């Protein structure tokens, strides 16, 4: 803080603070290294192109994929919309079904609703287990041969519950459906391997992975990506253009119309390098220790309701009786504690939980026990204020 007091940032699930290495990488890319990519024949443009495509390779290695399967997007929201508008428009028709779950982020609900409106497809909603996990036993009973797509969150942004992704993939395959995973909260915390997960599409955002905003990635199986039509037209995604006919570049360039987020992609690669140097296993273990400490501290308080499983992944959501989460967040801010208060872009989940909003503390690689202690102190003060 400006006065030198510590700031306890517990909103990493919304967006992560950026390491200096990421800021420096973006500054270099915006400054002395800057040029456009894929167009210039001069040296700096060629070097920037190499850096941009190296970033694609870095992302691919990070999730156990091939670089030709990585499409850069503005974030997970655009990645999911890309699948809905390209693969979805080409493959769904009236009467087909899409399976979602009760805990999905709006970004993994609304694109499918828009697709259903366009095509006449029907959306089904998988319930949750009592501790807040996607109920795959229920999903198995619900899935039919009419289901073409299953779209689920890998790690809930509210409950921190982790999906058994390989089982979800097996269930989808058993009825001939494709599986899309929203990996926004998983990518900063869990080691990823697309072959092991067994999914068909995977989306995540850079800014939750300690990178900049305005960049994310869609992974899709190569055969699916190759068959998908473009969803935006413009420069860079074409092979040749005449007024009579346009032919398109191969994937993934076919899905990256216009000048790309060059500096953001390079900074995302720097963020991944930073995370890999620390180690995802180390980050996950440290966050889990903080989750346990937080849940134990909150469980010992009267009038506090905890949501989600005991082993929630880096995220703890809760409510304090008689205190609206927004009021709690305001008072905690006076204690230099930053949490998220609201519906977390998961209004159907709030309805399921029976609350208008929750308070959410979420951890990152910079979080420590002092942050948890400050949170607990701030909640105790809030309870005293509200009597």
pTM of whole model > 0.85? yes
pLDDT of amino acid 41: 86
Give the closest residue to 179 by CA, choosing from 163, 199, 156: 199
Contact predicate 310/295, CB 8 Å? yes
**DSSP codes joined into one string, 260-274:** --HHHHHHHHHHHHH
pLDDT of amino acid 387: 79
For residue 20, what are its two tokens?
Answer: 């200096």
CA distances, 334 to each of 17, 71, 322, 362, 367 (Å): 20, 42, 19, 18, 19
Q: Do domains 20-277 and 280-385 have the same CATH topology?
A: no
Contacting residues for 46 by C-beta, under 8 A, at least 6 apart: 40
pLDDT of amino acid 86: 98
Active-site residue list? 345
Scan for tokens 């366009």, then name that residue: 118
Q: Which fold has domain 20-277?
A: 3.40.640
pLDDT of amino acid 2: 67
Contact predicate 334/1, CB 8 Å? no
Q: Across-strand partners of 219? A: 70, 202
Q: Which CATH class is domain 280-385?
A: alpha beta
88: left (phi over 0), alpha (psi -120 to 50) or beta: alpha
Spans of the chain below 70 pLDDT: 1-4
Question: In the chain, where are the structural domains located?
Answer: 20-277, 280-385
**DSSP codes joined into one string, 35-90:** --SSS--SHHHHHHHHHHHHHHHHHHHHTT--GGGEEEESSHHHHHHHHIIIIIHH
Contact predicate 316/294, CB 8 Å? yes
Scan for tokens 């969150």, then name that residue: 153
Q: Across-strand partners of 216? A: 73, 205
């Amino acid at each position: 803080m400006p006065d030198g007091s510590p700031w306890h940032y517990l909103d990493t699930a919304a967006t992560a603070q950026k390491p200096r290495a990421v800021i420096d990488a973006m500054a270099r890319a915006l400054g002395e290294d800057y040029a456009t990519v894929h167009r210039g024949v001069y040296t700096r443009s060629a070097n920037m192109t190499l850096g941009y495509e190296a970033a694609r390779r870095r992302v691919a290695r990070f999730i156990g994929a091939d670089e030709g399967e990585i499409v850069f997007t503005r974030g997970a929201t655009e990645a999911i919309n890309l699948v809905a508008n390209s693969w979805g428009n080409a493959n769904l028709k009236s009467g087909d079904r899409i399976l979602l779950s009760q805990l999905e982020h709006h970004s993994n609900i609304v694109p499918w609703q828009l697709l259903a409106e366009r095509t006449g497809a029907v959306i089904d909603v998988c319930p949750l287990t009592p501790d807040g996990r996607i109920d795959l036993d229920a999903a198995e009973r619900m899935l039919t041969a009419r289901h073409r797509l299953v779209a689920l969150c890998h790690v809930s942004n509210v409950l921190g519950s982790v999906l058994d992704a390989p089982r979800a993939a097996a269930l989808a395959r058993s009825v001939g459906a494709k599986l899309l995973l929203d990996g926004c909260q998983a990518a900063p915390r869990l080691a990823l391997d697309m072959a092991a997960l067994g999914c068909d599409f995977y989306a995540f955002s850079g800014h939750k992975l300690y990178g900049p905003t305005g960049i994310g990635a869609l992974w899709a199986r190569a055969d699916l990506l190759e068959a998908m039509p473009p969803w935006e037209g413009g420069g860079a995604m074409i092979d040749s253009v005449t007024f009579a006919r346009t032919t398109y570049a191969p994937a993934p360039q076919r899905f990256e119309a216009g000048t790309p987020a060059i500096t953001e992609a390079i900074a995302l690669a720097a963020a991944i390098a930073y995370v890999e140097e620390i180690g995802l296993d180390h980050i996950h273990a440290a966050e889990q220790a903080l989750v346990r400490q937080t849940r134990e501290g909150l469980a010992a308080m009267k009038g506090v309701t905890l949501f989600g499983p005991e082993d929630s992944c880096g995220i703890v959501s809760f409510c304090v009786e008689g205190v609206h989460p927004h009021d709690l967040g305001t008072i905690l801010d006076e204690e230099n504690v930053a949490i998220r208060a609201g519906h977390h872009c998961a209004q159907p989940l709030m309805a399921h939980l029976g609350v208008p909003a929750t308070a959410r503390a979420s951890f990152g690689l910079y979080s420590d026990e002092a942050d948890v202690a400050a949170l607990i102190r701030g909640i105790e003060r809030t309870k005293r204020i509200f009597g």
